């Protein structure tokens, strides 16, 4: 996954973009980058591995301009390298092109082969680079039309920000898989993956960039076009379940409200009679656990404490390091858990590794019974649209029955939210959402490249 942010018409575009990226850090911690266009029209960029706070200050200080875009990246395995950091920046006969992409293109492999056959030379292994090459080849005159040309025939998920000469363009694929919002600061538009990125710079939310929309802003003003055939909306339900920040609004709805509703519904569908308290696996399930507590009338407690100075545990090269990382990241509060029958709420179970480790911690801290409740349906398939779920054979719910999962996690009872319950709970649901990793109902044919990694996800 990734976070994207962009501004135009701001005296300190770089400073604002850096702030925007700080608030989108949860969407990607592998690399960060900013490209800015200065008063003379020259574009320059800084990209580095790691967090936004780790971007090299001398280079950042040397960057300035009134237009900038930025990116935080969280790649799929195997493609974590500086060549794949974004925003990409190239010069073409029509001037500089810079791109920041969130999402994953499902036909990047084919498009890339086609471009290579016509002489294109690629500088990265990212799916996103095909958009840049196609942009460079378009002979349309208006920037937004050049992008429309470039995107015609591109399948899959993209929320993108593009700098093309003096123009800043924001676009979202026709199914609207990934969020992209537009706000305003001193009259000028500001774009970000989530509204928390608007809040941090003091911009007020105006609207979402719509599915299938290309929105351009430059010296000639603001223009919006919808050049593609309308498609059924497939907004990623996992954004509400896990990915986005609860203080954000995405897809026109509050993430906090979505998670609370998921928790309420979970308590209705899978109550835990006899339990004495509820706690979350911080931070992603806090709001859902509060919803569960509200619905069940049980106290919400802080039974697990998360160390905020340790990164996310999910992508670790080996099982052994993943196991150790659970203890690095979480500890249990004995005074809360000792002798108690408890409900542990998490937003999702993917491999089961984190959950198993947490259950052991909770039991070692004296819990008498552990009832696990999950505020999403079982994850049974990989995502091809920009979230880094592993292949099917690593997904615990793809290969095991509920009872087998319960035993493997070591819990006294286990309950997942139903698919229907999940879709009914999110704002604007139940229709217009992608739920393929839960239901197997993939909106596009899976990428022809079976492991989806050859042209790694650029998101
Ligand atoms: P598991 O028990 O499957 O090893 O891990 C489940 C935990 O991973 C949950 O706390 C959930 O919030 C988190 N999680 C779910 N999906 C993702 C993801 O795509 N990336 C990361 N980093 N964590 C995830
Ligand atoms: Fe989101 Fe799952 Fe669809 Fe991927 S497959 S876009 S994670 S709902
Ligand atoms: Mg979590």
Question: Where along the chain do its domains lie?
Answer: 3-234, 255-432
Tell me, in angstroms, the distance from the centre of ligand 1 to residue 286's CA.
Answer: 14
Tokens of 200: 């941090």
Which residue among 159, 239, 433, 434 has the greatest number of ligand 2 atoms within 8 angstroms of its CB, and so is best to mutate? 434
Catalytic residue annotation: 2
Residues 6+ apart with CB under 8 A from 45: 33, 34, 35, 36, 63, 87, 89, 98
* Token pair 């491999």: residue: 351
For every residue of 216-277, DSSP letters joined together read EEETTEEEEE--S------EEHHIIIIIS-TT-EETTEEHHHHHHHHHHHHHHHS--TT--E
Kindly tell me if the per-residue pLDDT of 170 is higher than 90: yes
Q: Do you know the residue count of the chain?
A: 459
Q: What local confidence, expressed as pLDDT, does residue 452 receive?
A: 47
* Token pair 């042209």: residue: 455
Neighbours of ion ligand 3 (CB under 5 A): 284
CB 349 near ligand 1, within 6 Å:
yes
CA angle (178 as vertex; 176, 184 as ends), nearest 5: 90
Indicate which residue's Cα is closest to atom 24 of ligand 1: 314
Give domain 3-234's CATH superfamily.
Answer: Aminohydrolase, N-terminal nucleophile (Ntn) domain (3.60.20.10)
Confidence category of residue 74, pLDDT binned at 50, 70, 90 = confident
The torsion defined by the Cα of 421, 378, 212 and 215, in degrees rounded to 10, comes to: 100
pLDDT tens digits for range 175-191: 999 999 999 999 999 99
Q: What local confidence, expressed as pLDDT, does residue 417 receive?
A: 98
Share of the chain above pLDDT 90, in %: 81
Tell me, in angstroms, the distance from the centre of ligand 1 to residue 128's CA.
Answer: 25
Find the range with the poorest average confidence among 87-91, 174-178, 201-205.
87-91
Mean pLDDT of the 351-360 span: 95
Region of residue 19 (phi > 0: left; psi between -120 and 50: alpha; otherwise: beta): alpha
Beta strands 2-8 and 204-208: pairing type? Answer: unpaired
CB 346 near ligand 1, within 6 Å:
yes
Confidence category of residue 78, pLDDT binned at 50, 70, 90 = very low
Residues 6+ apart with CB under 8 A from 373: 266, 267, 270, 272, 292, 343, 344, 345, 346, 414, 415, 416
Specify the DSSP element, H or E, that contains 250. strand 249-250
Starting from the CA of residue 434, give the closest ligand.
2
pLDDT tens digits for range 228-248: 999 999 999 999 999 999 999
Contact present, 289 and 437 (Cβ < 8 Å) = no
Tell me, in angstroms, the distance from the centre of ligand 3 to residue 144's CA.
Answer: 39
| Backbone phi and psi for residue 4, each to the nearest 5 degrees, phi listed first | -130, 150
Contact present, 262 and 241 (Cβ < 8 Å) = yes
User: Which residues have CB under 6 Å of ligand 2?
Assistant: 177, 236-238, 383, 385, 387, 434-437
CATH of domain 255-432: 3.40.50.2020
Starting from the CA of residue 374, give the closest ligand.
1
Q: What local confidence, expressed as pLDDT, does residue 55 receive?
A: 96
Tell me, in angstroms, the distance from the centre of ligand 3 to residue 349's CA.
Answer: 9
Kindly tell me if the per-residue pLDDT of 453 is higher than 90: no
Starting from the CA of residue 436, give the closest ligand.
2
- What 8-state DSSP symbol labels residue 242? I
Which residue among 238, 435, 447 has the greatest number of ligand 2 atoms within 8 angstroms of its CB, and so is best to mutate? 238
Which residue among 242, 318, 358, 392 has the greatest number of ligand 1 atoms within 8 angstroms of its CB, and so is best to mutate? 242
Tell me, in angstroms, the distance from the centre of ligand 1 to residue 348's CA.
Answer: 6
Kindly tell me if the per-residue pLDDT of 72 is higher than 50: yes
Residues 6+ apart with CB under 8 A from 141: none
* Token pair 């239901």: residue: 439
């Amino acid at each position: 996954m990734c976070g994207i942010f962009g501004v135009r018409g701001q005296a300190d575009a770089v400073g604002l973009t850096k702030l925007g990226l700080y608030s989108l850090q949860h969407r990607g911690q592998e690399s960060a980058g900013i490209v800015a266009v200065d008063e003379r029209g020259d574009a320059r960029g800084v990209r580095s591995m790691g967090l936004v706070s780790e971007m090299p200050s001398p280079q950042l200080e040397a960057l300035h301009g009134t237009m900038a875009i930025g990116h935080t990246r969280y790649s799929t395995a195997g493609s974590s390298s500086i060549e794949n950091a974004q925003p990409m920046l190239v010069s073409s006969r029509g001037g500089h092109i810079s791109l920041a992409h969130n999402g994953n293109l499902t036909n990047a492999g084919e498009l890339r082969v086609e471009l290579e056959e016509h002489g294109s030379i690629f500088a990265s292994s990212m799916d996103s680079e095909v958009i840049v090459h196609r942009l460079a080849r378009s002979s349309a005159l208006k920037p937004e039309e050049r992008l429309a040309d470039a995107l015609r025939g591109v399948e899959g998920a993209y929320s993108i920000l593009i700098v093309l000469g003096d123009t800043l363009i924001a676009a979202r694929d026709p199914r609207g898989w990934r969020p992209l919002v537009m706000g305003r600061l001193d009259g000028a538009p500001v774009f970000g993956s989530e509204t928390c990125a608007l809040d941090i710079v003091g911009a007020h939310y105006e609207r979402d960039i719509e599915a299938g929309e290309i929105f351009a802003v430059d010296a000639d003003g603001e223009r919006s076009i919808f050049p593609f055939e309308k498609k059924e909306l497939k907004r990623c339900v996992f954004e509400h379940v896990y990915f986005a920040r609860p203080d954000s609004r995405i897809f026109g709805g509050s993430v906090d409200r979505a998670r609370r509703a998921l928790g309420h519904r979970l308590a209705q569908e899978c109550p835990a009679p006899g339990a004495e308290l509820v706690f979350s696996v911080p931070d992603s399930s806090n709001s859902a656990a509060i919803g569960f507590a509200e619905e069940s009338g049980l106290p919400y407690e802080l039974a697990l404490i998360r160390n905020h100075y340790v990164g996310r545990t999910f992508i670790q090269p080996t099982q052994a390091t993943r196991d150790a990382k659970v203890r690095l990241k979480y500890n249990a509060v004995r005074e809360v858990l000792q002798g108690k029958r408890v409900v542990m709420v998490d937003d999702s179970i993917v491999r089961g590794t984190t959950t198993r480790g947490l259950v052991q911690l909770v039991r070692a801290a004296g819990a008498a019974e552990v009832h696990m409740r999950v505020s999403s349906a079982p994850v049974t398939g990989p995502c091809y649209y920009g979230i880094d779920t592993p292949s099917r054979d690593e997904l615990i719910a793809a290969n095991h029955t509920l009872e087998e999962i319960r035993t493997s996690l070591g819990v006294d009872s286990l309950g997942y939210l139903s698919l229907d319950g999940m879709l009914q709970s999110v704002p604007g649901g139940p229709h217009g959402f992608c739920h393929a990793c839960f239901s197997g109902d993939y909106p596009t044919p899976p990428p022809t490249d079976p492991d989806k990694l050859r042209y790694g996800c650029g998101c």
